[in-house]
Structure 1
């Protein structure tokens, strides 16, 4: 069997003396969309940040393409073409849309720059219309598109998306999820997605994990988890956002 692109093995992460992750196992195969769902404070973002080396896991391992990256500094992990669109977007508000995309471009791939910008503009036409505007002047949805676009400029082998639909209108969320599905389908992009909108995330994902209090309590295909009564009552009742 082919080895997973990303394998998180029995990872424990602490903030000081507080254990945020209690021995987590997740994996993402090449060409897969994997989602991690759970309530606020379950440890989802901590896992995402641990993969990127900030904070580093206290025990267990994070392996990417067969390489142990657990103790690697964050900038070296980024060089392996793991790109992150973090929670809260974190674009450069004083720079234009175009300059933000430049910041995301990988230094090794300058020759692809024009082609990559074109690709991002095709995916998110709003960014093309707004390319000369400052990041801070964009709407929340446009900032989220820019954050994902900036991550894609690095030509990642694995895209980490942390809460891409947080605080966005349903229509904009839908556009973002459609774009993720399209990238996965047309480019085979592997995506690891942390998302509070469990319904949208599980519909999109090939496989999913449920996290409660720093532990993975359930896993399965997106469809299996959508149909699971426990998942339904905990995360899917009260309407599909």
Structure 2
């Protein structure tokens, strides 16, 4: 398996505050890799740094073997990275269809209809809501739209930032099932930040644990799910 994404010794700052303190990790082609950790650990900062905003002050980021450190975000996206951001950030006044059109801006010309059909097959609820303003939908539907919008760009790697945040347990299960299906059917590489450690580790091929800007542990999803330290910190008291 080839390495699609390589993060090497990355340091990211907000002003004088160091949010990422020498992060090293890799994501292989076709893998689901998850990053777990407490609130404020730096997980979302890492995804944003990969996408070029903010730029790291130290270390390098490689995608498909090419150094993308410090490149502008639009260039990184055009290389095949798409993000479904924390809090969804859909365009609330636009319809579902218009949101999906926005996601397809960097896709291959002539591919819109095929990709739209694929997304609406994955998320039948979006098909029902195709002409509805996105801001009037439920949280779960908006999360489906955020993921669908990212998929419309035909990415080589999908970044998911807290896809289960604020959703009902049944909807969370649906979202994770779709993530698994995207990976299995489309061979999509997925790097996911998730606070719901139980679901994330069950889904992931490999996983990392982040504590205050540093990677403290890594292994297969199953290994971390069974690790007493991980269980005590992230899994005790229910899933």
Interval containing the TM-score (normalised by the shorter chain): over 0.9
Question: 1:110 offset after TM fit, Å?
Answer: 3.3
Where in structure 1 do 4 or more consecutive aligned residues deviate above 3 Å? none
Report the Cα distance in structure 1 between the residues aligned to 2:84 and 2:46, rounded to whole angstroms.
14
Question: 1:195 offset after TM fit, Å?
Answer: 0.1
Say if 2:192 is the partner of 1:193.
Answer: yes
TM-score (norm 2): 0.99
Say if 2:218 is the partner of 1:219.
Answer: yes
Report the Cα distance in structure 2 between the residues aligned to 1:35 and 1:184, rounded to whole angstroms.
13
Q: Give 2:206's aligned residue.
A: 207
Say if 2:104 is the partner of 1:109.
Answer: no
Say if 2:50 is the partner of 1:83.
Answer: no
Residues 3 and 66 in structure 1, CA contact (< 8 A), matched pair in contact too? no
Residues 106 and 155 in structure 1, CA contact (< 8 A), matched pair in contact too? no
Number of positions where the alignment pairs a residue of Structure 1 with one of Structure 2: 239
Q: How does 1:121-200 map to 2 (within 5 A)?
A: 121-200=120-199
TM-score (norm 1): 0.98
Unaligned runs of 5+ in 1: none
Give the CA RMSD over aligned residues: 0.8
SS at match of 1:176: helix
Unaligned runs of 5+ in 2: none
Residues 31 and 183 in structure 2, CA contact (< 8 A), matched pair in contact too? yes
Residues 30 and 188 in structure 2, CA contact (< 8 A), matched pair in contact too? yes
Question: 1:106 offset after TM fit, Å?
Answer: 3.5
SS at match of 1:26: strand
